[in-house]
């Protein structure tokens, strides 16, 4: 009996997921290569379009390579990564901490939620210039804007998650006479974890967008600033290179959060299978 259970548990992911993912990955890589090849060798020569409007993929790759080795794009990337990381960290943390009273008490919810909803209703792009005025052209204003953008999805999901504990599990803890802290630590928090990671995953891509928007409004450094600089210089390949870099950063950050999430809330994966 025990061997049979063990065998199916180990065998199923190997038998099912690995070959399928391999095939799908091959197809999706092929689509990308075909797309780039058509662009490089069919679209550009046929239309004879100006490189200032649409550069070849090879020119973009070269711009990316020289930008990274030259140093200026590398330094910009480092700045943007710091803004994204710090803003994401603070925003998520504040969202989670505020979710605890709001999820726990109707009174706290009634006091806090109008302000939180109002804060979310304000277009962040519209108030970004204010933060630049208040906190300067440096990193602080960007971190604040990224925090504001990442805060909400984490907050909303954490509130839902902290209320998602099934009634019978609460009864079990009541029978044990569990304290409020034990109930939070051993019951509400683990039940909220899948929801919180859902929010963190939405927030991570938003945080990259937030950093770029903040840099557009006023910055000398960062990938957003690099896009503006390249645009003014009609260096379209440089713009595309920066966009490619951004896409990669957002995708890698999202994949990282997802893989951490899968490890932390492992029991949800098992339930799906």
Partner 1 sequence: MSKSYVTRSGENIVALSDVNLSIDKGKFVALVGPSGCGKSTLLRIVGGLIRRTAGNVSIAGTEISAPTPGIGMVFQSPVLLPWRTVRQNVTLAADLGRSTRAAVDERADRFLSLVGLKGFENKYPGELSGGMQQRVGITRALVHDPEVLLMDEPFAALDAMTKDKLQVELQALWMGSQKTVLFVTHSIQEAVFLADRIIVLAPRPGRVIDDIDIDLPRPRTLEMINSREFGDYASAVRRHFETEEVVQ
> Which spans of this chain sit near partner 1 (rule: CB under 8 A)?
2, 5, 9, 166, 168-169, 171-179, 182, 186-187, 190, 193, 265-267, 270-271
Minimum distance between the CB of residue 244 and partner 1, rounded to whole angstroms? 39
Residue placing its CB nearer to partner 1 in the complex, 16 or 75: 16
Q: How far apart are CA 15 and CA 39, in angstroms?
A: 38
Residue placing its CB nearer to partner 1 in the complex, 65 or 267: 267
Residue placing its CB nearer to partner 1 in the complex, 74 or 268: 268
Please count the other Cβ atoms lying within 10 Å of the Cβ belonging to residue 66: 15
Residue placing its CB nearer to partner 1 in the complex, 6 or 114: 6
Minimum distance between the CB of residue 7 and partner 1, rounded to whole angstroms? 12
Helix axes 139-162, 72-104, angle to 10 degrees: 40
Minimum distance between the CB of residue 272 and partner 1, rounded to whole angstroms? 10
Q: How far apart are CA 224 and CA 70, in angstroms?
A: 18
Minimum distance between the CB of residue 72 and partner 1, rounded to whole angstroms? 47
Minimum distance between the CB of residue 193 and partner 1, rounded to whole angstroms? 8
Concatenate the DSSP letters of all residues of 105-146 into one string: -HHHHHHHHHHHHHHHHS-HHHHHHHHHHHH-SSHHHHHHHH
Residue placing its CB nearer to partner 1 in the complex, 66 or 169: 169
Contact predicate 150/92, CB 8 Å: yes
């Amino acid at each position: 009996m025990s061997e049979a259970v063990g065998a199916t548990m180990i065998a199923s992911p190997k038998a099912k997921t690995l070959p399928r993912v391999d095939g799908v990955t091959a197809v999706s890589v092929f689509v990308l290569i075909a797309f780039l090849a058509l662009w490089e060798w069919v679209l550009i020569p046929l239309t004879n379009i100006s490189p200032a409007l649409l550069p070849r993929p090879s020119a973009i790759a070269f711009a990316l390579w020289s930008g990274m080795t030259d140093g200026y794009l590398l330094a910009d990337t480092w700045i943007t990564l710091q803004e994204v990381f710090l803003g994401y960290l603070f925003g998520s943390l504040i969202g989670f901490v505020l979710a605890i009273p709001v999820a726990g008490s109707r009174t706290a919810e009634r006091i806090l939620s109008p302000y939180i909803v109002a804060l979310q209703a304000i277009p962040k792009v519209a108030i970004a210039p204010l933060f630049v005025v208040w906190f300067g052209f440096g990193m602080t204003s960007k971190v604040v804007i990224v925090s504001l953008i990442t805060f909400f999805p984490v907050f909303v999901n954490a509130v839902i998650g902290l209320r998602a504990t099934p009634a019978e599990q609460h009864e079990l803890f009541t029978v044990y006479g569990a304290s409020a802290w034990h109930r939070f630590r051993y019951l509400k928090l683990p039940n909220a974890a899948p929801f919180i990671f859902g929010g963190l995953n939405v927030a991570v891509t938003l945080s990259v967008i937030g950093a770029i928007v903040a840099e557009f409004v006023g910055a000398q450094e960062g990938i957003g600033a690099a896009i503006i600089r390249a645009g003014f210089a009609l260096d379209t390949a440089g713009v595309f290179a920066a966009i490619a870099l951004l896409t990669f950063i957002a995708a890698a950050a999202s994949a990282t959060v997802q893989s951490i999430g899968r490890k932390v809330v492992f029991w949800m994966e098992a339930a799906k299978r």
